[in-house]
Amino acid sequence: MRPLGRRLATLAVLSASLVFANYTDPNVLDACPGYKTTNVHTSGSTLTADLVLAGEACNVYGSDIEQLKLEVTYETNTRIHVKITDPSSDRYEVPESVVPRPDADPSVSSSTAEIRFNYTASPFAFSIYRAATHEVLFSTASHPIIFEPQYLRVKTNLPDNANIYGLGEHTDSFRLPTFNTTRTFWSRDAYGVPTGSNLYGNHPIYFEHRTTGTHGVFLLNSNGMDVKINDTAGTSLEYNVIGGVLDFYFLAGSTTDPVEAARQYAEIVGAPAEVPYWSFGLHQCRFGYQNYLDVANVIANYSKADIPLETMWTDIDYMYKRRIFTVDPDYFPLARMREIVDYLHSNDQHYVLMTDPAIAYLPGGGYGPFDRGTQADIWLMAANDSSPFLGAVWPGVTVFPDWFSNKTQDYWTNEFQLFYDPQSGLDIDGAWIDMNEPSSFCNYPCTDPFEQAQEQDLPPARTSSPPDPNAPMPWGSQKRKRVDHSGDDLQNPLYAIQNDAGSGALSDRTAYVDAKHANGLVEYDTHNLYGTMMSTATHNAMLARRPGLRTLVITRSTFAGAGAHVGKWLGDNFSDWDHYRNSIAGILGMASIFHVPMVGADICGYAENTTETLCARWAMLGAFYPFMRNHNADTSISQEFYLWPTVAQAARNVLDIRYRLMDYIYTAFHQAHEDGTPVLNPLWYKYPEDPATFPIDLQFFFGDSILVSPVTEENSTSVTAYFPKDTFYDFLTLAPFEGTGANMTLSGINFTSIPVHIKGGAVLPLREKGTMTTTQLRETDFELVVAPDASGEASGSLYADDGVSITPATSTSVSFSYQNGTLAVAGEFGYSMGVNVSRVRFLGVVSAPTTVKANGQTVQSGAISYDKDSQVLDVTLDTPFNEGFTVQHS
């Protein structure tokens, strides 16, 4: 704590004893002098200027920097880049190797842009506004910019009752609270993923939605920060950042379609990666499988229960003394593990293992991953720059790979190729990386990691006897300038962000902020990038193992742009109804804003004990996570779906729905990869002019047209769901009803069902029922479901390829269009799907048709059925799905 330094004259009345707690008083900060603008120059689409301190310095958390550089670029007609830097020093910026910068269109000018930059010269303030309406979207008026070595502050006014979304990762409501809310960005191991806390990942992007449109604001800065939203004296949003530069991208979004903001953000951070078709199946894992027989029995039991299991996972249990790239020879012998992998692959199933970043520190030799890393000199170094930084993680005392070293990718790729070699190791199909904040169990100050590892019993001893090694299986036979941090207090900056890890110190339970990278950067600046950099390196290592094939890499810690390479799960949640509910906001944030769409929460909860009813409800909700995995902790009861009759039936029921929809969601992922269109949608994305949808985060759209309204209260068999003024159809009965823009109570929902509805206006390409693997599913015929809107029209699409190749040799893209009683199917059928369209189901047909034609030919009456109660007209076709066709009813 320290009083303000040199004060403005207007602050002279404040007591000299003013302390840290007062620094965030807006009256104090807003009275700082800010900057005045000089040397303004415009060239093409770029404006540059010098910003000079406009009065006596405030020095709130250090010395105000006297002169700054402003650069404003109209990069596209919908994006403005505003950057403020200190030209006198080499301040840290997010490296382009981590977040590549988007190209700018040199033909753009302020006169054609949809949003515009405006400024006042003295004191300098700027605003972003819509060109067509002059509506201000972002304004620093009356809030001077503060720019100090370890404190940057920018504040904007917001409308009352602002609809702000993003600023994650968090477990707050999807629409962020506007009263006294702080979103802190500092990656940490957040067991229990508490509400209102900093968590594993950092995505400093927000969308603001108004009935007049939706826009986005992205601050490209990886330093620790607090973003504060408050409505006590006029609503505002304030950035408080402890380093780096001010590097803003403003996105125009759209006045009519909120999804445009998401597409524009993808232009900056990259569109999401395409993932293998098989990865949309059910995944099973737990921390606590004691030995290889446990794993084998789980696989067998899913099969016996007729629950389709696509991928088996194994947590760190398989490792020898928790050391990565090892197997325990007594509990998980390599030969038996290879037998499991071979069995899975022979049955068109898959296998994924955990890999952590922390490498056991064993300088005596004999542990290849440590020895090879030491020889290559790729460890993150301690502040003294002469020895590796040491932490305490699962294997005991550990070192950490330095992802900025130009040798680390080769090292990591080599370790993957050695351990996961198909001929001599474990032929995994995907990778799971954890603890990559990076997490350490060492409390700061950790003066002796060896002592802390011993006190915490790391690595933990086995508590069971090893199995019979011959037991039968259950199925029978680069360089840049060093950033100048001289004079900076890295461990204890004067502005303390609200880090919830341990004591709150930045270095608590993670790599120290003064740890050094090979390129001269320090963890103080790059900490929030560690998880994403490990993710990218793992993605590259998997590509090297299987060139040309898509990867499935699931990570815990992410930064902006991570979704271009990997997916994630929402971390170590609890088996309770609060975490069940807030998982919906979590997946919406990742998939619809942050562009990490391959996302899910641990189904049935990770920590503590689930119940049969909670697990049944969660199995059904989890089937509408893009990434569907049941996973829990070693201290919890087992929760595999087959263990309870209710849960088993719920899983079978909902997996049937998920598998029927798999090509629909696969198509959505392809579209997301093409242009950033989200694969999940909050209701307000579809109904942007309906204020009742703005706060809803217990319902969501799976893809573009499937409305999911899960039961969210314990022991309840009903749910109150909101249905906008639109046409909807029950997914199971296909019966239509009209939403009235009001809540509706859906009752009689047993514990093996979940309310799912089709939004009017969709044509859905569904697979037929009843397969156990995605391989079988791809051999199953389609049926097309035509669900018209109120005007009697519908449309849809289907994308198909081999399901695994990054660049498929051939692909099929089909469009569906329905109007005036005619369904037209057209497209390019390059990839041979090898299946038929078995039938077309027309919904909302109010009376039996007199004539049905396919490709202009009358369909025989035996191939037609009509149900007047559900208003469903079924037309059997059994036509090869290798060319376009039409079906007409009248």
For residues 436 and 535, what is the distance between their CA atoms, to the nearest angstrom? 9
CA distances (Å), origin 873, targets 316, 541, 797, 888: 53, 51, 21, 11
The residue to which tokens 């993003």 are assigned: 166
Provide the 3-class DSSP secondary structure of residue 514.
coil
The neighbouring-strand residues paired with 599 are 568
Beta bridge partners of 19: none
**Torsion angle, CA of 359/361/366/372, rounded to 10 degrees?**
60
Q: What share of the chain is helix, strand, coil (3-state, %, to 5)?
A: 20, 30, 50
Q: How far is CA 35 from the centre of its chain?
A: 38
- Of 404, 405, 477, 390, nearest to 442 by C-alpha is 390
Q: Which residue is listed with tokens 């397969």? A: 771
C-alpha 227/C-alpha 241 separation (Å) is 8
Contact assessment for residue 840 and residue 831, using Cβ atoms and an 8 Å cutoff: no
User: CA-to-CA distance for 657 and 768, rounded, in angstroms?
Assistant: 10
Which parts of 641-736 fold into alpha helices (H)? 645-660, 662-675, 683-686
Dist CA 825 CA 188 (whole Å) = 50
In the sheet that holds 203-210, the strands lie side by side as 35-43, 46-53, 67-76, 79-85, 246-254, 213-219, 203-210, 163-168
Q: Are 537 and 521 in contact (CB under 8 A)?
A: no
What DSSP line would sit under 154-213, residue for residue?
EEEE--TT-EEEEEES--S-SBPP-SSEEEEE-----TT--TTS--S-BEEEEEEEETTE
Question: Which DSSP string corresponds to 98-130?
Answer: TSPPPPP-TT--TTT-SEEEEEETTTTEEEEEE
CB 130 within 8 A of CB 115: yes
**Site of tokens 């390019």:** 828
Say which residue the tokens 């979207």 belong to. Answer: 137
Cα–chain center distance at 542: 20
The answer to whether 344 and 428 are in contact (CB under 8 A) is: no
Strand partners, 663: none
Q: Which residues are marked as active site?
A: 434, 437, 572
What six digits make up the tokens of 828? 């390019």
The 3-class secondary structure across 551-583, one letter per residue, is CCEEECCCECCHHHCCEEECCCCECCHHHHHHH
Cβ neighbours of 3 (radius 10 Å)? 14
Q: How many other C-beta atoms can be found within 10 angstroms of the C-beta atom of residue 10?
A: 12
DSSP characters over 27-48:
HHHTTS--EEEEEEEEETTEEE
Instruction: Read off the tokens for 240.
Output: 């408080």
Contact criterion met (CB below 8 Å) for 872 and 831? no
What tokens appear for 723 in the block?
A: 């249905």
Q: What is the dihedral of CA 369, 371, 374, 378, to 10 degrees?
A: -20
Q: What are phi and psi of 752, to 5 degrees?
A: -120, 20
Identify the sign of the CA torsion 511, 516, 520, 522.
Answer: positive
CA 692 to chain centre: 26
Eight-class DSSP state of 9: G
Going by C-alpha positions, the residue among 620, 678, 621, 624 that lies closest to residue 650 is: 620
